């Protein structure tokens, strides 16, 4: 698989996607690709990197073998079923320091400035970061640890029920029962 394949899926190239691609390379080297659910990925953020991980490793939200933990950390763990052998990959790479002009452009971008000058500077900085990430030795990008951990429960399929307000289907364990009526979470929050 090539970086261009994940760019096609994601829609644009960026440093986060490059990290996900490189994390995936390490994961594949250490664990192999998921054909079905024999590999579980645990991601601790919902950044661009996760799209690359889904495409390259075969761990996906749809199959239930990609678990999201909202910790905001650039940490990715891949667990082999049924053994529990795992590799934990934490990003340690630091981008090279920016010059004063680039730092000022980032501040302007953060304030909403999308002028041609700012966008060119931001695009150039992102391209340089991606180039560095894609070329770096994994030892310079990541802290890679091998562990044995408890294997997460396999994905389950649940019956669907209908919300008594919006009539949309809900997986049964997410339904809320209020006064003997079934509600989806949004309708239940409006009822209470």
In a domain, 117, yes or no: no
Based on the domain organization, do 143 and 181 belong to the same domain? no
pTM over 0.85: no
Domain around 174: 160-191
Q: What's the number of domains the chain is made of?
A: 2
Contact 67, 108 (CB under 8 A): no
Q: Give pLDDT, residue 151.
A: 86
Q: What separation in angstroms does the CA of 163 have from each of 44, 179, 188, 190? A: 31, 13, 9, 13
Over residues 140-169, the mean pLDDT reads 92
pLDDT digits (tens, 9 = 90+) for 4-54: 999 999 999 999 999 999 999 999 999 877 678 889 999 999 999 999 999
| 143: region left, alpha or beta (phi > 0 left; psi from -120 to 50 alpha) | beta
53 φ/ψ angles, rounded to the nearest 5 degrees? -60, -40
> Is 43 inside a domain boundary?
yes
Cis peptide before 66 (omega within 30 of 0): no
Separation CA 138–CA 121 (nearest Å):
27
Same domain, 164 and 89: no
The enclosing domain of 14 has a CATH number of 3.30.1330.130
CATH code: domain of residue 187 = 3.30.60
Q: Convert the pLDDT of each residue in 85-118 to its tens digit.
A: 999 999 999 988 888 988 898 899 999 999 999 9
Q: Is 47 inside any structural domain?
A: yes
| Crossing angle for the helix pair 3-10 and 15-31, to the nearest 10 degrees | 130
* 86 and 166 both lie in a single domain: no
Q: Does residue 46 form part of some domain?
A: yes
Q: Residue 192: its pLDDT value, please?
A: 67
């Amino acid at each position: 698989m090539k970086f261009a394949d994940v760019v096609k899926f994601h829609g644009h190239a960026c440093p986060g996607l490059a990290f996900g691609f490189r994390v995936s390379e390490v994961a594949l080297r250490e664990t192999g690709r998921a054909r079905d659910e024999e590999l579980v990925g645990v991601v601790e953020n919902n950044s661009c990197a996760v799209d690359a991980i889904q495409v390259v490793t075969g761990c996906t939200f749809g199959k239930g073998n990609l678990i999201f933990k909202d910790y905001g950390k650039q940490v990715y763990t891949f667990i082999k079923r049924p053994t529990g052998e795992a590799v934990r990959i934490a990003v340690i790479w630091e981008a090279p320091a920016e010059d004063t002009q680039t730092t000022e452009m980032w501040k302007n971008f953060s304030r909403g400035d999308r002028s041609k000058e700012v966008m060119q500077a931001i695009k150039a900085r992102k391209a340089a970061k991606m180039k560095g990430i894609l070329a770096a030795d994994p030892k310079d990008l990541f802290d890679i640890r091998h562990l044995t951990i408890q294997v997460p429960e396999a994905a389950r399929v649940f019956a669907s029920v209908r919300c008594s307000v919006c009539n949309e289907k809900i997986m049964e364990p997410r339904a809320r029962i209020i006064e003997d009526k079934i509600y989806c979470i949004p309708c239940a929050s409006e009822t209470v």
